[in-house]
Structure 1
Amino acid sequence: MTQAMQTKSVEPKIPSLSYPAGDDEIDLAELFRALWQGRWWILGCGFLCTAIAVAIALWLPNTYGAEAKLAPSSEQQGGGLSALAGQLGGLASLAGINLGGGGIDKVGLAIEVAKSRQFVAGFIQRHQLAVPLMATLGANKLGDKVRIDPDLYDEQTRTWVRKVDPPKQPKPSDWEMYKAFSQLMTAEQDKKSGLVTIGIEYYAPEVAKQWVDWLVADLNEVMKQKDIDETQRNIAYLKVQLEKTSVADMQTVFYKLIEEQTKTLMLAEVNQEYVFKTLDPAVVPEEKAKPKRALIVVLGGILGGMLGVMLVLLRHALRRQKAQALVGAISEA
C-alpha cells in the first residue's frame, strides 16, 4: 500500500494548457452591433454603387437580336465521289476503284465555315461592313440608322482616323474585324432536332435582320460553289481516266460516275438553298436583347451593399486589434 502510494506520488504531472477564452471565437452579437453602427456606411456604399450601375445601364446602347431557323437541305449530302459509294459500290469494286465510304456532314461543315476567318472576312468585304462593324457608337432613337464615331472614322473623307499602337493600323485588319463580328454572330445546331439557328445582335434592328439574310444566302452560295468546283474536278478526272482505259467494265463505271456527277452539278447550279432551307426567316426585332438594365441596377445595389459590409467589418477588426494592442501595452507597463 505504501509502495503504491509512493509510486503514485512520483508520477509527473502534465500541466494543462489554457487559452484565453473568446479570442478566436466569433461573437455574433458583437458583429451585429458593428454592422448596425456602420449601417450608414453600408447604405452609402449601396447607394453609390446603385447610382454607378444606373449610369452604366443608361450609357450602354441597346442591341437587337435577329435570327433565322434553318433546316438541312435534302441535297446536303451532295457532290463528292464518296457520296456515290453506296449506289455504285458494286461496280466500282468490280472495276478495281475505291470510292470510299461515309457521307460528309455538310451541315456541321457549313456551321464551321460560317465561323471561319476566311468566310467572315469575305462576308465583311462583300457587303462593306467594316465601318458599321468597327466604328459604331450605337443607333439613333428610331433604331434605323447607326451613329459613326468621328474619332474612329471620318465620313466626309471616308478614311480611318483611329489612333492605335503599332503594329496595328488605323484601318482595322481582317483579324480585328473577325473577332468583332464573331462576338455578334451565333451559329448553332440543335442536336435533337437538327435545326440550325443563325443570329446577329446589333444596335439597329433592321441592320441585324439584313445581316442574317446575307449570312444565310452567302453561306449557301459558298457551300454550293465549293461542291460545284469539286464536282467539276471529279468530272474532269473521270474523263481522263475513261480515255486511259479499254476495259469495258471500268468504262461502264466511269460513264455511270460521270452521269451521276453531272446530275449533282446540275442540281447544285439551280438550287439556291443548297445546304440550308429557311424554315423561319429573320424578322426585324421589336424588343431589345441587351442590356438588361434592371438586372444591372439590382446587381449594382447588391454589390454595393456587400462592399459596405466588408468595409464595416474591416474597420471593426482594425479597431479591435488596436484596442487589444493598447490593453497589452498597458498590462506590460
Structure 2
Amino acid sequence: MNERTEQAYYPDDEIDLRDLFRTLWDGKWLIMAITFVFAVGGVAYALWLPDIYKSEALLAPANGEQSRQLGGQLGSLASLAGVNIGEDGSSKVVIAKETLKSRAFLADFIRRHNLEVPLMATEGWNVEKGEWIIDREVYNPETNTWLNDDEGESMKPSDWDLVKRFRQELLSVSQSEDTGMITVSIDSKSPVAAQQWTEWLVEDINEHMREQDVREANKRIDYLRDKLQETNITGMQQVFYQLIESETRTVMLANASDEYVFETVDPAVIPEEESEPSRALICVVITILGGMLAVFVVFIRSFIESNPDQGGSEFAS
C-alpha cells in the first residue's frame, strides 16, 4: 500500500524543467525590470562612493649589528652591575611595529599633526583645489569649532574615536614572513594625505623609538656613575667605565641616524589611481543579486497563482 502511494505521488513531486522554463519565460518582463532597477541602483551606489587612495612605504629593519655585538660583549658585565643594556635589533623591531599600532602612539600622532578634522569632519577631497571638503554639519571651519548634535552634545571626537577610526579604516601594518620587510600603508580620500601621513608615521616611529632609547640610556649612565662613586675596587670601576662608554655610544649612534629602527626601502608616493572602490565589481554583484531576487519573486508568484488556497492559508497563518 505504501509503495503504491509513493508511486502515485512521485510524478507530482518530480521537478519538471519545462515548467520551470515556462515560469521563467512568463515572468521574463518582471525579471528584466527588477534586474534593471538593481543594475541602475548599483551604478548609482558605485558612483556615490568616494575614491579611496592607498600610499604605502616598504621598510627594512635598520642595521643594528654593531650594537648587538657590543651588547653581547658587555652583557655579562652589565648583568654583574645590575644593568640591562637593552634589546637586540629583532626585538626592537617587534616593539616598534606594535608601538606603531598602539593607542597611545596613534593618539599622540593624530594630535601632533592636527588630523582631527581630516579624520572626523570631512566629506571628501577637492582634487582641483587640493583641499578637504569639510562637513559643515559637524565642524565650522570659519570659527574652528565642533558643532553640537541633536542632543546638544559636542561632536568633538575623543582620543578613543580618533584612534578607532584611524586603525580600522586607514592604517595597515604588515610584515613579510619571507623577507622580514614591513609595509606601512594609509588609505585616504586624499592622495596627498595618504602619502604625507605615511611619511609622518615612519618618521615619528623612528623618532619615538630613538627618544625612548636615548632616555633609557641616559638613565643607565646616571645609575652607573652613581655606582662608580660608591666603589673603590679597581676591577669594578673598570667595568663601570666600559658600561658607561657603551651607553654613551648608544646615545651617540641613536642621535646620528634619522632612520633609527626602520630604513625606508621604497618611500611612500602620491597615488595617481584610486585603490577603492571597485565600481565594476560592485555593479556586477548588485545586478546579479537583483537577477536572483527577481527569479525568486517569479517563482513565488507562480506558486501562489497555482496554489491559491495553500498560498492564501500560508500567508494568513
Give the TM-score of the pair, scaled to structure 1: 0.83
**Of 278, 295, 316, which aligns to 1:309?**
295
CA distance in 2, matches of 1:124, 1:76: 33
CA distance in 2, matches of 1:246, 1:163: 70
Shift of 1:225: 0.8
> Secondary structure at the residue paired with 1:272?
coil
Q: Counterparts in 2 of 1:7-18, with a 5 A limit?
A: 18=5
Shift of 1:26: 2.6
Which protein shows a greater Rg? 1
Q: Counterparts in 2 of 1:41-60, with a 5 A limit?
A: 41-60=30-49
> Secondary structure at the residue paired with 2:36?
helix
Shift of 1:27: 2.6
Shift of 1:118: 0.8
CA RMSD of aligned residues (A): 2.7
> Secondary structure at the residue paired with 1:21?
helix
Matched, 1:178 2:167: no
Q: What letter matches 1:175 in structure 2?
A: W
Shift of 1:293: 1.2
Matched, 1:151 2:140: no
**Partner residue, 2:117:** 131
Contact preservation (8 Å) 1:69, 1:197: yes
Structure 1 gap ranges (5+): 1-13, 327-333
Call closer, same or farther: CA 1:260–1:31 in 2, change over 3 Å: same
Deviations 1:205-264 (A, max 9, x none): 112111111111111101111111111112122222333334433332222111111100
> Secondary structure at the residue paired with 1:41?
helix
Structure 2 gap ranges (5+): 313-317
**Partner residue, 2:213:** 227
Call closer, same or farther: CA 1:34–1:16 in 2, change over 3 Å: closer
Q: What letter matches 2:290 in structure 1?
A: G
Contact preservation (8 Å) 1:63, 1:289: yes
Matched, 1:119 2:105: yes
Q: Which has the higher helix share?
A: 2
**Partner residue, 1:293:** 279
CA distance in 2, matches of 1:325, 1:271: 78
CA distance in 1, matches of 2:221, 2:131: 49
Between the aligned residues of both structures, percent identity stands at 44
**Partner residue, 2:16:** 27
**Partner residue, 1:8:** none
Alignment: residue pair count: 308
CA distance in 2, matches of 1:212, 1:205: 11
CA distance in 2, matches of 1:266, 1:96: 22
Deviates more, 1:269-278 or 1:248-257: 248-257
Give the TM-score of the pair, scaled to structure 2: 0.87
Deviations 1:36-93 (A, max 9, x none): 2112222112111111111111111112111111111113896xxx985521245457
